[in-house]
Structures are given as structure tokens and as C-alpha cells.
Structure 1
């Protein structure tokens, strides 16, 4: 048996797939591994690229060429069914690894920690649209249970114990005779981690091993409403699947998802239907000439864009998770001081506005604090 099978799904990834494959081929290990690429009938040149790579590296690469487009989930499942390794690692065709010892480190960990079924690492986030790297995601925790994972999922933020696809490795034995939910789940990341944690512990190590690309053509970005529906469907399936002792955690997670969906609807309404004049009228009426924006994501940038060529100055963004660029100065909340004074600070994540407002007040912020919901 091979030690590791790396699975990669690919669809219309011609711009990124070479970087992804090269990062797998360049792994330095003391064991043999394989790379299984599921190519899902791309409409671009992805298929010919992966065939060229298979011809170049026949001892490593095995292709899973779909005869018709089957979708990401079925493509992923068929990849896993082809695996012959003791452990399975995953990498999407538009992400890539930056640590040539990524696989070796995880094999050493799982070999030495038989009570663990899954492990991951930290990673970088690259935003294709802005050509910026966001804050590195490092959530070190070397031993957590299913209950720990579900408790973290009840909070209004991305679950820090959720292992990103590009960093994970798990025992193939977890998926021997898997339950029906493995096949019925709309996507695999969440359910594979649930199944692993039912049979052992998880771990996240602090090394940063890869780059997760926010790509406008991925399903999470291209059709956000559909992805939100899939996420809700997934959580409800897991609610029915897991024992009742976990129900309260999952229900809270589902309730939070509804609140976040309201936020996404507001974001879409703001981006598409609220014009600059509406915002400008609010600021003029309230005698606001310069602002800080709490949240340097999509909504924060949309506000800045709508205020371009007006007399309202966006002095800075406040964000704990995003790195600044020259056109977008960003400070951390704890860096706010008397020199950071502006007439108002606009809170874009309204679903957490109370906690953010309390945080700013504790930091002695004297500016007017406005939730985006109030502004609209």
C-alpha cells in the first residue's frame, strides 16, 4: 500500500493547475505517494494540461477523467474511491502548497499519534481580485474532539477548528464503509471532518503550508447564494445524523447561518442598489466628513468605492484579519489611538455590531460608531 494519496479536483483551472500540480510533485518525502486528479470536463484547457503532466510523471499521477461534467462533489467522491494510500491529503486545482515537507510532516504526525484521525496546518489567503494576501490563518490546536469542533461552530465567525481542504490529511480507514451522509452531503470538507472526529481526534499545527486562493470563478464566490444553501443543507443533514447530545450546538450553528444570510442579502442589496448619493446624503446630514471602516472585506471596499470622487474621506480600515495595501491602509483594533480620530466608524459586519461597538468603546474610541444597517 502507498503511504499517501493526494486527491485534486479540477474544473476550468487552466490558469492555476500547473502551480497546484508542481507543488505536489515537489514534495520531499521518505515514502511513495500518488496524485489523483479528477478532471470534470472543463471548457478550457485544463484537461490537456493534466494529461501532459500524467505523461511526464506516470509514476505519480493518475487521472480520473470524467466523461461528462458530474459536479464537484461526485468528482471528489470518485477521486477518493481511487485512492490506494494509507492516508489521504487534498488540494484543489486552484490552490497550491508552499512547504515541500507538508506531506512528510503530516505522515510523521499521524504515524506517531494513532489516536488522531485528521490533521491540518495554517495557510495563507490570496485574494485574486485585489492581488493581496490576507492575514495568515493559524489556529494551533494539537488535540481537539468532535464536541470541541461543534462548540467552536456556534460562534459568529469561521470555525478555527475547521481544517481547510488544502492543509488536511486523514486516515483512509475512516471512509471504509462510510454512512449514507458521506454520499448525500452537498460538499465534502465538513462531513469528512465530522466522520474523522467521530473516530478520533483532530490537530492543527502552526506551520503555514499552502495558499488558499479566493477565485471569483469558484463555487464559493461565483454563486454565493447557492453555496449558502448547500451549507445550510449540509448542517441540517448533520443535525439529523449525529446523536442528540450534539443537537444544541448544531442548531445554534444553523441559527447563526440564517443571521449571516441576512448579512449577505444586505451586502448584495448595498452593492447593487444603494447609490453614492444615498450614503453621501446620510453623511452630510450628520456632518460627517471623514470615516474609518470596520471590516476590510467586500462591503468595506464597496463603501470606499461608492465614496470615491466625493468629499468624504476614508481615512483607514480596521480589521484583524486582512493585511493592508498601499491603496487601503489597515489598522488593528488595538492600534486605534487619539491620532486615529475620525468623525465616524462604520461597522460593516452588522451581525456582530454589538460586540464590535463594545470593543471600540473599551478602546476609548471617541468617534461616532455606526452600524451599516443604520446607514441604510
Structure 2
């Protein structure tokens, strides 16, 4: 953690099987409901709750501190004096490095779980299926006006292959339980704004993903303070573009041409979506000219090599 962070509450002597990781910032109205969703979990194993308050300016830290007093051996809180996210230092995956569990369960402080058997079901599966790195289930988007249905539809409500995870397929982040296998990111990925997509891609190197439809949906809250949900479409597109570029650079360094080219294509698609229709036509014409020029050069090189005088 950063030099201005303060950790409170003693750590239990026995290592928990699961660490619930919960970043919080200015979520005074929601954080208690989030913590109650953790505390209601019915498990045969020990778990811990790690809550990170990123210098909230409302009463979020006070509510977290109250829960720490009530559950001192269960909740570990981290408080920051200066906001780290605004300085390009997100609390995760650094917070994963504080987690003592074999598995990470993730949920931000404005979302919440509804199924008391959630952790037990997901962990039981991971314990008996070492070829899987990640489990997830449904989540429902909602705001003060009502619910907007399941986040992921159709083919996304299914298992993910290891390659599918490496391609950073969408997953409802607040539903995930995954193996605790990294506490930092490769240099190319450290600044990627959609860091959960980066996590899934890295986890794909460790196994597959399991969709668990029997778990009650978690609740994904849409509100003006949401870090991602209330961003403009233009900003979301730019974040996706930056993340695809970072993943392309990472897999290029690893020498994985398949994933390098996949994320390059993602980058091209997002780039075309981000520009105006007039510029889009100009760009496609330029791409066509470049393609023709490169093909011509390759053909001439081949002909020259094959011609013997």
C-alpha cells in the first residue's frame, strides 16, 4: 500500500480460505449494505474482508470503522489520507497482495450480494476443479428508478475457455471468485483503465472460467458516483481502447502472436468507433492505400527473389 495508508484491526491467527476485497470511495449511502452482504455468507471455511477507503470525503470511512469495531478479527480496513485513484494508483491489485486467502472474492462498496451461499458454492467448485481459475454468476443492474435486467446475456452466460479469458471476455466483476495468483500487474498493464479485463486475461493463463447460474444474481448499482457506470460513452470507449492497446503490448512482449493480433484488431475497432463518420471514411481509404502498398512491396520482393538471370 502507499505511504499514507493506515491499516487497522488485528489479523486472525489462522489464514482464511477466502479474502473478500472491497474498494470504497464516497459510498456512505451504500457501504453498509455491501458489508452486510459479506457478513451474511454461510460457509464451512474462514474468510476475511479487506476494505480499502481511498480518502473518502463523506462518512464512508466512519461506517467502515464502525464495522471494524464490531468484527475486529474478520474485517481488515485500509485508510488513505490522499486519494490514490486520482494519482493513477488504484487500490487493486495491490490490495490482492494483502489478501491471505487462497481465493479472492471481489465486490466494490456500492454493489452487493444477495445469496448467502454464494461463496460456499463458488469455492467448493474451485477446490474440486484445479483446471478452473475463475467462477462468476449473474448480476442485475439497477438504480433508483428500478432494475434493468441481467448484465450478461446469451453466450456470455456460459463457461469461458482459458483462451476466452485471455481475450478479456466480459464478466460481471462483482460476482467473481478467483485464485489468488497475482498482486501486481506487468508494466504494460499497470495503467490500463479497465483493470478487471486485465485480471481476466491474466487469469486465463491459469485455467478456465465457470459460470454458475444457480447463484442468485448480485446487484450492480448505477449512480452518479459510480467509477465506470456513469462515464460517458465516449470515455468508456476511450478506456476500452487504452486497455486493448495495453494488452496488445503485453502479449507482443510475450511473443504470443495470436493474442497480440487479437487485441490489435480490438484496438482498430475501437479506434474506428471513436472517430467521426467523415474521418472514418478517410481512415478506411488510408488503410486501403497502405494495405495495397504493403502487398505490392511483398509481391515485388517475392518476384525478385524468385527471378534467376
Task: Compute the TM-score of the two structures, normalised by the length of structure 2.
Answer: 0.75
1:90 aligns with 2:99: no
Residues matched between the structures, number: 251
Question: Which aligned runs of 4 or more in structure 1 are off by greater than 6 angstroms?
Answer: none
Tell me, in whole angstroms, the C-alpha distance in 2 between the residues paired with 1:148 and 1:78: 21
Partner of 1:188: 195
Counterpart of 2:239 in structure 1 is: 230
| Deviation, structure 1 residue 120 | 0.6
Would the aligned equivalents of 1:13 and 1:93 in 2 still touch at CA under 8 Å? yes
Residue 140 in 1 paired to residue 153 in 2? no
TM-score by length of 1: 0.62
CA contact (8 A) 1:119 1:163 kept: no
Q: Which has the higher contact order (CA 8 A, sep 6+)?
A: 2
Relative to structure 1, is the Cα distance of residues 20 and 260 closer, same or farther in structure 2, using a 3 angstrom cutoff?
farther
Residues 152-189 of structure 1: CA deviation (Å, up to 9, x unaligned): x7xxxxxxx422221111111x2167533453333420
Structure 1 SS opposite 2:238 = helix
Q: What is the root-mean-square deviation in Å for CA atoms of aligned residues?
A: 2.2
Q: What is the distance in 1 between the residues matched to 2:24 and 2:184?
A: 26
Q: 1: distance between equivalents of 2:130 and 2:185? A: 20
Question: Which of 95, 117, 122 is the aligned partner of 1:101?
Answer: 117
Show structure 2 runs of 5+ residues with no match. 1-14, 277-309
Does residue 1:253 correspond to 2:270, yes or no? no
Q: 2:126 aligns with which of 110, 122, 126?
A: 110
- Say whether the 8 Å CA contact 2:126–2:132 is kept in structure 1: yes
User: Does residue 13 of structure 1 match 2:27?
Assistant: yes
Q: What is the aligned counterpart of 2:172 among 164, 184, 206? A: 164
> 3-state SS of the aligned residue for 1:9?
strand
Q: Deviations over 1:98-136 (max 9, x none)?
A: 1111111110110111011111111111134xx121122
1:100–1:219 Cα change, 3 Å: same
1: CA distance, partners of 2:237 / 2:248: 17
1:259 CA drift (Å): 4.5
1:366 maps to what in 2? Answer: none
Aligned to 1:76: 92
The CA deviation string for residues 242-298 of structure 1, in whole angstroms up to 9 with x for no partner, is: 1111233222322332344359xxxxxxxxxxxxxxxxxxxxxxxxxxxxxxxxxxx
Distance 1:52 1:177, change over 3 A: closer
**CA 1:64 to 1:197, structure 2 compared with 1: closer, same or farther past 3 Å?**
same
In 2, distance between residues paired with 1:142 and 1:223?
29
Contact 1:147–1:246 (CA under 8 A) maintained in structure 2: no
